[in-house]
């Protein structure tokens, strides 16, 4: 049909993700609809919506309050917060805000440090823990080094060891293939976050493009969350209609944090939630469990997306 603008740089995974997101159209359904309930339960906690804060790190350059200020925004909005790289004090400050938080640990070459971080997160009251497996390598294919700390790729066996090391739910961030999803399932992982880490690899498949086959491969063995390119309630709706449990909003929220701190975060999330609610009302989706899987169309072909 040719109604979607192609990315200027076809290598850029972020542009590819945006283009694919915009190529998905939604079929309205009005009869029998109602004002929807967009609340979500995750690991025994109730949240106002399936919109979550992405696993940011090092936000002090965006706002003086840094990661704890973002967490305060999540708390105000009543949503789940994720936290990326940071020391024990920062995690303690994040959790002190009262925001239910999922702590993501990097695949440090020093495996003892990984186990220590998982244990500290549990003692400190994190909702869940996990690891971003896509930070194992740099652009040259060598072990990545972040802030002077070397990373190391993770085997399926090591992942199972990490899962067994904690009784908190364990989530893997950076899954974009059926192969990795199936390994996560075998390792006992509770959830996977589909993400290309803001375009860490050229030509990376958009998460929503990978989602249907991953869902088909793992069934209901694990929950699926979506990261990258989620900027609006419409984006969130498309991910949920494809079978995601929840979504993470990333860099698009940073200007709101910078300009108005926690209140800015809340306002951005509230706007996304309103838009999601509107999309659900216009598709006869009374709650998250009743978003139909046959609502989406591919603008490039003019045909329904088969899930």
The conformation of residue 251, written as its DSSP 8-state character, comes to G
H-only helix segments in the chain: 13-22, 66-77, 88-96, 111-124, 156-164, 178-187, 207-218, 233-241, 254-281
Distances (CA, A) of 6 to 18, 24, 111: 9, 13, 42
* Pairwise CA distance, residues 225 & 207, whole Å: 10
Choice among 135, 197, 198, 290 that is catalytic: 197
Can you give the C-alpha Rg of the chain in angstroms?
Answer: 19
In the block, residue with structure tokens 């893997």: 172
Neighbour-count burial of 98, counting CB atoms closer than 10 A to its CB (0-12 exposed, 13-18 middle, 19+ buried): middle
* Whether 197 is catalytic: yes
Contact 235, 21 (CB under 8 A): yes
Token readout for 79 is 């949503």
* Pairwise CA distance, residues 70 & 73, whole Å: 5
What is the phi/psi pair of residue 121, to 5°?
-60, -40
| Residue 17: count of CB within 10 angstroms of its CB | 25
Contact 167, 199 (CB under 8 A): no
* Pairwise CA distance, residues 239 & 211, whole Å: 8
| Residues involved in catalysis | 197
């Amino acid at each position: 049909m040719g109604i979607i603008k192609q990315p200027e740089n076809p290598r850029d995974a972020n542009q590819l993700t945006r283009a694919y997101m915009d190529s998905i159209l939604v079929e309205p359904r009005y009869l029998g609809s109602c004002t929807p309930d967009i609340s979500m339960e995750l690991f025994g906690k109730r949240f106002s919506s399936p919109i979550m804060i992405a696993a940011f790190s090092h936000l002090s350059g965006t706002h003086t309050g840094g990661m704890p200020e973002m967490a305060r925004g999540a708390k105000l909005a009543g949503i789940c917060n994720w936290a990326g790289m940071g020391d024990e004090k920062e995690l303690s400050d994040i959790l002190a805000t009262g925001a239910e938080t999922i702590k993501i640990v990097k695949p440090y070459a020093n495996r003892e440090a990984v186990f220590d971080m998982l244990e500290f997160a549990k003692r400190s009251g994190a909702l869940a823990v996990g690891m971003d497996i896509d930070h194992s390598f740099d652009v040259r294919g060598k072990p990545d080094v972040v802030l002077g700390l070397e990373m190391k790729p993770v085997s399926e066996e090591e992942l199972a060891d990490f899962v067994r090391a904690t009784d908190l739910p364990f989530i893997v961030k950076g899954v974009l293939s059926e192969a990795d999803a199936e390994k996560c399932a075998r390792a006992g992982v509770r959830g996977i976050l589909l993400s290309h880490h803001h375009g860490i690899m050229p030509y990376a498949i958009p998460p929503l493009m990978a989602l249907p086959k991953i869902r088909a491969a793992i069934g209901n063995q694990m929950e699926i969350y979506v990261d990258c390119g989620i900027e609006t309630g419409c984006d969130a709706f498309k991910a949920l209609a494809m079978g995601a449990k929840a979504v993470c909003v990333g860099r698009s929220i940073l200007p709101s944090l910078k300009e108005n701190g926690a209140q800015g975060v809340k306002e951005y999330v509230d706007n996304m939630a309103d838009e999601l609610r509107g999309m659900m009302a216009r598709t006869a989706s009374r709650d998250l469990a009743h978003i139909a899987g046959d609502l989406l169309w591919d603008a490039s072909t003019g045909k329904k997306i088969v899930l």
